[in-house]
């Protein structure tokens, strides 16, 4: 009998050890953070090749920035388009263009990726200031997505405008990261490029919506979701105060000034990173009512945080939202 017991113990121990090794290999979780696209990128990946995935994510974001999206990196596709007033672009970039032109159109111009000249005058990110009125009017005159034409992989521009994918770049990065994770068979991942987040893989995720009055880790509501992309546009980011007024970085393409309405922030949930990012900006400019309509046109879900301390959502989000800050009230429209 003693022998039998010893055998059982040995089998259990071996099984336990095998399980631990198997589990540790398959469910290895690696966290890394780095700086790219003028923001902090943090990745937590679970899977067989978690470490390699994290390294690759860093490469994807850096490459996307310097080779495609950056307005200032010489040699990037956007840099070349702006310098030469149009030209050939890669197939993927043409896809982004096409999607973003669609958002410009469907939002009635509330989203516009040709405002580079206007936002330069505000100097957000360095020493922000209120621009000279005439200079602003002039820059606004030389902007407008309707002056950009896409034919296959060729972009032509009928004015000296400055193309700027800043309002969608982080989302585009999330989509490219998602493609990589699918190919590498990662099990689960949470990747944040600045304030835009990719939730990838199995199980449920919990995302906090930033408290406009708190630091960047504090939140006022939680969303419980499956895999998706979540982006927020908030007036508390990149803002400055002058003569008792707050000026923030989300510009209304119609006026060239910060969008001025009841909204403090908009969070958009979508399968597409590009859409969640671009739509959060568009919805901010449009305000609550029109914002909901636009988001729904794309099958995306939106949550607005307003100046009168309301969190406004539609019933498509009612089941997954939990308010954690008692100063705010949930309003389902």
Partner 1 sequence: MNTKLIKKGDLAVIAVIVAAALIFAFFNYRNAENPVAVITVDGVTVETVDLASVKEKITIKPQTAFNVEIAAENGEIWFEHSDCEDRLCVATGKLKNGGDTAVCLPAKTVITIMGSDVDAVVY
Binding site for partner 1 (CB under 8 A): 1-2, 4-6, 8-9, 12-13, 16, 32-35, 38-40, 125-127, 190, 192, 194-197, 199, 205-210, 214-219, 222, 230-232, 234, 236-237, 265, 267
- The distance of closest approach from Cβ of residue 257 to partner 1 in the complex, given in angstroms and rounded to an integer, is 21
Cβ-count burial of 161 within 10 angstroms (0-12 exposed, 13-18 middle, 19+ buried)? buried
Min dist CB 214 to partner 1, Å, is 8
CB closer to partner 1, 83 vs 224: 224
- The strand order across the sheet containing 154-157 reads 86-88, 154-157, 148-151
**Residue 328 to residue 263: CA distance in whole angstroms:** 14
**What's the rounded Cα separation, in Å, for the pair 327 and 183?**
44
Closer to partner 1 by CB, 69 or 220: give it. 220
Nearer to partner 1, 78 or 266 (CB): 266
Q: How far is the CB of 98 from partner 1 (least distance, A)?
A: 26
Which lies closer to partner 1 via its Cβ, residue 32 or residue 52? 32
Structure tokens, 95: 């896809």
Nearer to partner 1, 12 or 141 (CB): 12
CB of 80 to partner 1, least distance (A): 26
Q: Which is nearer to partner 1, 5 or 133 (CB)?
A: 5
φ, ψ of residue 95 in degrees (nearest 5) = -65, -45
| In the complex, minimum distance from the CB of residue 240 to partner 1, in angstroms, rounded to a whole number | 9
CB 192 → partner 1: shortest distance, Å? Answer: 5
- Give the tokens for residue 4: 């039998």
**Residue closer to partner 1 (CB basis): 16 or 137:** 16
Shortest distance in whole angstroms from residue 152 CB to partner 1: 35
Rounded to the nearest whole angstrom, what is the least distance from the CB of residue 199 to partner 1 in the complex?
7
Q: Which is nearer to partner 1, 32 or 67 (CB)?
A: 32
For residues 227-256, b (16+ Cβ closer than 10 Å) or e, as one string? bbbbbbbbbbbeebeeeeeebbbbbbbeeb
Q: Determine the Cα–Cα distance for residues 58 and 41; give it in Å rounded to an integer.
A: 8
């Amino acid at each position: 009998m003693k022998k039998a017991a010893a055998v059982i113990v040995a089998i259990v121990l071996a099984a336990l050890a095998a399980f631990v090794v198997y589990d540790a290999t398959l469910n290895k979780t690696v966290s890394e953070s780095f700086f790219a696209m003028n923001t902090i990128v943090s990745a937590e990946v679970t899977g067989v090749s978690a470490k390699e995935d994290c390294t690759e994510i860093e490469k994807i974001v850096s490459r996307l920035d310097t080779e495609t999206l950056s307005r200032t990196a010489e040699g990037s596709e956007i840099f070349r388009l702006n310098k030469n007033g149009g030209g050939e672009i890669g197939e993927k970039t043409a896809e982004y263009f096409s999607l973003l032109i669609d958002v410009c159109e469907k939002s009635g111009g509330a989203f516009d990726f040709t405002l580079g000249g206007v936002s330069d005058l505000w100097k957000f990110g360095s020493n922000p200031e209120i621009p000279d009125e005439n200079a602003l009017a002039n820059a606004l005159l030389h902007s407008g997505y309707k002056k950009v034409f896409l034919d296959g992989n060729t972009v032509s521009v009928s004015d000296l405008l400055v193309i700027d994918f800043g309002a969608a770049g982080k989302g585009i990065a999330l989509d490219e990261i998602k493609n990589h994770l699918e190919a590498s068979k990662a099990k689960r991942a949470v990747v944040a490029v600045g304030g835009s987040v990719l939730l990838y893989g199995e199980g449920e995720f919990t995302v906090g919506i930033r408290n406009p009055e708190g630091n960047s880790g504090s939140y006022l509501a939680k969303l419980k979701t499956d895999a998706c992309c979540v982006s927020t546009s908030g007036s508390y980011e990149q803002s400055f105060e002058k003569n008792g007024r707050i000026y923030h970085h989300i510009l209304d393409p119609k006026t060239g000034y910060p969008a001025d309405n009841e909204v403090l922030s908009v969070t958009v949930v979508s399968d597409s990173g590009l859409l969640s990012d671009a739509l959060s900006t568009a919805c901010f400019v449009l305000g609550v009512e029109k914002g909901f309509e636009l988001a729904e046109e794309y099958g995306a879900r939106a949550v607005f945080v307003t100046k009168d301390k309301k969190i406004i959502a539609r019933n498509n989000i009612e089941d997954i939202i939990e308010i954690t800050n008692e100063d705010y009230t949930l309003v389902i429209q």
